[in-house]
């Protein structure tokens, strides 16, 4: 488990940690390995939210556009947002 997950769960063990998962379709020239490349593939329709083609909306990601625009440190994981 990541250090961030351990810290968050230590504060409240009933916290749910959600990971953003995408799929690259067969037209993708390569699998995105970073957020910038993922966003470019997403805009072209080469990458989609998990199961978007099989069950549209079932795994939609709240705040996805904001997440893409937010600067990211690749050194360690971070929280995107919290819901109460």
Where do the domains of the chain lie?
15-69
Distance in angstroms (rounded) separating the CA atoms of residues 50 and 47: 9
**Cα–Cα dist 79/18, whole Å:** 9
Structure tokens given for 75: 């050194």
25: pLDDT strictly greater than 70: yes
Q: How confident is the model at residue 67 (pLDDT cuts 50, 70, 90)?
A: confident
What percent of the chain clears pLDDT 70, i.e. is strictly above it?
A: 93
- State pTM to two decimals: 0.72
Q: Within 13 Å, how many C-alpha atoms sit on residue 66's CB side?
A: 6
- Determine the pLDDT at residue 34: 86
Residue 42 has pLDDT above 80, yes or no: yes
Using pLDDT thresholds of 50, 70 and 90, give the confidence band for residue 82. confident
């Amino acid at each position: 488990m990541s250090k961030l997950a351990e810290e968050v769960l230590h504060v409240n063990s009933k916290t749910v940690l959600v990971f953003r998962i995408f799929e690259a379709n067969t037209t993708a020239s390569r699998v995105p390995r970073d957020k910038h490349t993922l966003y470019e593939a997403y805009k072209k329709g080469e990458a989609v939210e998990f199961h978007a083609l099989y069950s549209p909306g079932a795994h939609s990601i709240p705040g996805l556009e904001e997440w893409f625009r937010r600067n990211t440190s690749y050194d360690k994981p971070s929280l995107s947002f919290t819901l109460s």
